Amino acid sequence: MHSHHHHRADSDCTSLLSNQLLLHVFSKLPICDHLTTSLVCKRWLYLHGRLVPSLRLLEWQFLESGRLFARFPHLTEFDIVRSCILVTPNPGGVLLSLSLGDKIDMLPPDRIDQGLQLIAQRYPKLRRIGVLGASECGLGSLAGTCQALQELELHCCGDLCLKGVSGFVNLQVVKLNSNSRDGCGSVVSDIGLTILAQGCKRLVKLQLCGCEGSYDGIKAIGQCCQMLEELTLRDHRMDGGWLAALSFCGNLKTLRLESCKAIDSDPGPDEHLGVCPMLEELHLERCQLRDRKSTKSLFLVCRRVRDIVLRNCWGFQDDLFALASLSRRVKLLYLEHCSLLTTQGLESVLVSWKDLERLTVVSCSKIKDSQVTPQLASLFSVLKELKWRPDTRSLLSSDLDGIGMWRQGGKFFTSSKGARY
């Protein structure tokens, strides 16, 4: 009997190793193996939790019970958004999946604030957090303790809760989701944007989703956040005239517009628009580009841009794309799923860009190989990079670099299988 117990004690050779040594060994394993190793025994589970820097919380009770802090004591990135949503099982006992764009029921604000106070106490070195439905008090408790916090994502936020954000002295990235259709009745207007601008002057990236506001709010951002390099507006509800305020963003390098039903309903006279002096990239994705005035105003404000990326933009016809020629310094153009743009419309703009170096055309069904003119072919031949797949029948490889691929003059496509191009 004594021999049997002695054999069991010696079977776990890792029991002789210190926690520090095992942690060092586990840290060398691929991340995909961490979960498997954590299931070996309670000790390994305990040690595994000390290697996890990032977590998405799904159950609020796990936080309130304190088990979260014992299991994962060294978190630096934390997302509690899903855990703040009250989910009711359907009659079959299955939890229905929810998106943040749906009407949702949240935990009471005071309960969320209490959770944030616990997080602040246990994770003073937190660098990133995502929160839903927090108040000024809850965010203030985080700001007072988590001085290293650099990235903050807020859902169902309004003007008043942003007062608590001003305490984050090192905040560099902010994502605000103030979609009024989410059922929480939160709104971010010029008031909130001004509070944010005055309190977070070290911002480098700002994303505004579903936010209201106008010229004044964007102007405040530009004047106060002089380090701002990237601005994203998603499904915005800005009042007419906000585009002109972009000229105050003196260091802005990237502008993204996503899922916007309109760019600017009333941009005002062209001479009052100004220009973003340092802008390098303009990204438009899933946007309505049917209004000529607002489209022209956008390209005027962005006329010094170097890269233009257009994905799934509706109503973008040749006459509207022609306005892109207002931007004279373009070096890269990326087009994807711009189904109304034709080969002639594309050529009219490309030939006006003397600095163009890179071109990508993907899934643009009205752009045809057979309509490529000698002038356009000549332009292709001097590009540093060409990715050309406007439709599934395109003859060009998607990875051609554009060197020596065209003959100047003559016919470029034939109906034979051995066609040269």
Whether the pTM exceeds 0.85: the reply is no
pLDDT of 228 > 80? The answer is yes
Q: Which two tokens stand for residue 183?
A: 């059922």
In the block, residue with structure tokens 């009219």? 348
DSSP element (H, E) containing 332: strand 332-336
What average pLDDT does this structure show over 307-334?
A: 94
Whether the predicted pLDDT of 33 surpasses 50? yes
Q: What's the pLDDT at 352?
A: 93
pLDDT grade for 190, boundaries at 50, 70 and 90 = very high
Question: pLDDT band at residue 35, thresholds of 50, 70 and 90?
Answer: low
Residue 35: C-alpha distances to residues 12, 20, 42, 70, 254 (Å): 20, 19, 13, 17, 38
pLDDT digits (tens, 9 = 90+) for 77-91: 999 999 999 865 444
Per-residue pLDDT at 323: 95
pLDDT score recorded for residue 416? 33
Q: What is the mean pLDDT of residues 234-249?
A: 95
More confident residue, 20 or 110: 110
Q: What is the pLDDT of residue 44?
A: 63
pLDDT confidence bin for 293, thresholds 50/70/90 = very high
pLDDT surpassing 90 at residue 8: no
Lowest mean pLDDT among 68-72, 73-77, 344-348, 397-401: 397-401
How far is Cα 323 from Cα 144, in angstroms, rounded to an integer?
Answer: 49
pLDDT for 1 equals: 43
Minimum mean pLDDT range among 67-76, 189-198, 225-234, 333-342: 67-76
Q: Among 200, 199, 197, which Cα is nearest to 223's?
A: 197
Calculate the average pLDDT of the chain.
83
Taking residues 65-84, report their average pLDDT.
91
Mean pLDDT, to the nearest integer, of 168-176? 94
Helix (H, G, I), strand (E, B) or coil at 170: coil
- Least reliable range by pLDDT among 34-43, 55-64, 109-118, 160-169: 34-43
Cα–Cα distance list, 358 to 258, 354, 355 (Å): 23, 12, 9
Domain residue ranges in the chain: 21-51, 53-86+103-187
DSSP 99-138: -TTS---B--HHHHHHHHHHHHHH-TT--EEEEES--HHH
Q: Cα separations (Å) of 207 from 50, 154, 200, 353, 390?
A: 32, 10, 14, 30, 31
Report the pLDDT value the prediction gives residue 155, as an integer from 0 to 100: 93
Q: Which of 87-91, 118-122, 198-202, 314-318 has the lowest mean pLDDT?
A: 87-91
- By the 8 A CB rule, do 252 and 228 touch? yes
Quick one: fold of 53-86+103-187?
A: 3.80.10
Give the confidence band of 178 by pLDDT, cuts at 50, 70, 90.
Answer: confident
Residue reference for tokens 């070290």 = 202
User: What tokens were used for 197?
Assistant: 């601008």
The pLDDT-based confidence of 5 (bands split at 50, 70, 90) is very low
